[in-house]
Structure 1
Amino acid sequence: MVITNSQSSTNVEEIAAGVYRINTPVVLPGDAGGFSFNQYLIVDDEPLLFHTGPRRMFPLVLEALASVIEPARLRHIAFSHVEADECGSLNEWLAVAPDAAPLCGTVAAMVSITDLADRAPVALADGQAVSLGRHSVRWIDTPHLPHAWECGFMMEESTRTLLCGDLFTQGGATLPALTTSDILGPSEAFRRSMDYFSHTRNADAMFERLAQLEPTTLACMHGSAWSGDGAGLLRALARSVHQ
């Protein structure tokens, strides 16, 4: 792990071949355990950033990303759904990466990003893949899972890394970048304390579709990324949300 800012403890670590987790720990009011925000950088011929981080966190994330590649090299600024930590600094990234474009699902492009972004988005249909060079990402629509009509995730196919957004959100500010330990228990405890799932009736089918991708790394937006039988863990989460 490389600490890129000593004051914020923002850090970078490679969690799969060419896939880097950028992490900033934070202290939330009334929360002694802290929290964290992650972004994921895929380094390739056409580098991709998944999650921008909140707008006010942009200088920290920019500094961290610049420790890996020149920010102007970015070509894709992607995210799961429209929320401050997902795409709050989208326009700041477009300003420092003049050849980059927003990369999102068709619903996000239609209802929000065409208006919000300073550059036109590239809208991906459900199941559509984009080659970055050695890596390839595939967009999967997951409306309302865990929340937002426009929600979706990306599967990086060469490393079998599922960029799974708010699924498996874990509290805590000092968690390891990548773990093989249990994240279902902590993430479900966190979810039940402030239930942010929409509980869409289509959840089971969407969980199963994600499981069938057979990811071996789950790149979570909050807390540790996880390595192991991703299909099994996704099916376990599907069962747990019914309890």
Structure 2
Amino acid sequence: METLVTEIAPDIYRLSTYISDADFMFNQFLVNAEEPLLFHCGLRALFPLVSEAMARVIPVERLRWITFGHIEADECGSLNSWVAAAPRATVAHGTMGCLVSVNDMSDRAPTPLQDGEVIDLGGKRVRRIETPHMPHGWDAGLLYEETTGTLFCGDLFTAMGDAPALTEQEIIGPALAAEDVFGATCLTARTAPTMLRLAALEPRTMGLMHGPAYAGDCGRALRELSAAYAERFALSLDGGAPGRRGP
């Protein structure tokens, strides 16, 4: 098992570990700027591999920001390992997530971020976008890097299996197939509108946590996935969508 490093946009690196036994991929993203930022910490057991991969780009102790989408082991399981390795780094998460979890679980007091709040990294600017319960977790939120138009979209478009580092191939079908298996997305009246809010950004690249980085028509992909989830939500009101576990 190894962690591969790929530059998916200028000074934005995908740190990717494929676990063959699970047939599943775990990705973290490094924004290399005057104040480097890590989005997703990864599983605690993967910290040695991921930190070694980061060190091919920057010394780990240079890291200045550590953040993630929501509270889940593959998002923040190794949080305190990164805190120990990067003594000058600030932990940041959405305000709700800090109140209910991160204040307690982090060895370093976190900085709460408001919806739409921008962190100027020096050469890069990242914006926190609150997406509660989308795809899941009431503390959920994503990150948008404004200078490159890169949306770090977390568990959206999750796909099973290995994947290339960067693709323009269709990603809706694999995402819906994975949804049929896992049933991981919270389908609510807010799911589709929240995705349309992301589509309005018209990202140039999307960093998927479980799948390839995507360099096709990101706005269109978000709108198509939004429509598919809206259809599934409507079906759930009538007793459940075929091929899906539960409402």
Class of the TM-score when normalised by the shorter of the 2 chains? over 0.9
Q: Larger deviation: 223-232 or 66-75?
A: 223-232
| 1-structure distance, mates of 2:15, 2:165 | 9
Q: Larger deviation: 130-139 or 199-208?
A: 199-208
* Residue aligned with 1:24, SS: strand
Match of 1:49 among 38, 57, 73: 38
- TM-score, length basis structure 2: 0.92
- TM-score, length basis structure 1: 0.93
Match of 2:88 among 99, 122, 126: 99
| 2-structure distance, mates of 1:204, 1:197 | 11
Runs of 4+ aligned residues of structure 1 deviating over 3 Å after TM superposition are none
* 1:213 CA displacement: 1.1
* 1:71 CA displacement: 0.2
* 1:27 CA displacement: 2.3
| 2-structure distance, mates of 1:136, 1:228 | 22
Match of 2:65 among 67, 70, 76: 76
Aligned counterparts, 1:48-197, within 5 A: 48-173=37-162, 175-197=163-185
Match of 1:225 among 194, 213, 222: 213
* 1:193 CA displacement: 1.4
Q: Which runs of 5+ in 2 are unaligned?
A: 233-247
| 2-structure distance, mates of 1:176, 1:39 | 15
| 1-structure distance, mates of 2:131, 2:159 | 20
| Deviations 1:36-60, CA, capped at 9 Å, x for gaps | 1000000000000000110011000
Identity of aligned residues (%): 48
| Deviations 1:104-129, CA, capped at 9 Å, x for gaps | 11111110001100011111100110
Aligned-CA RMSD value: 0.9
* Residue aligned with 2:154, SS: coil
* Residue aligned with 2:175, SS: helix
| 2-structure distance, mates of 1:117, 1:101 | 11
| 1-structure distance, mates of 2:141, 2:31 | 18
| 2-structure distance, mates of 1:101, 1:36 | 27
| 2-structure distance, mates of 1:216, 1:236 | 16
Q: Which runs of 5+ in 1 are unaligned?
A: 1-7
Q: How many residues align?
A: 231
* Residue aligned with 1:164, SS: strand
Alignment partner, residue 26 of structure 1: 19
| Paired residues of 2:135 and 2:155 also in contact (CA < 8 A) | yes
* 1:228 CA displacement: 2.0
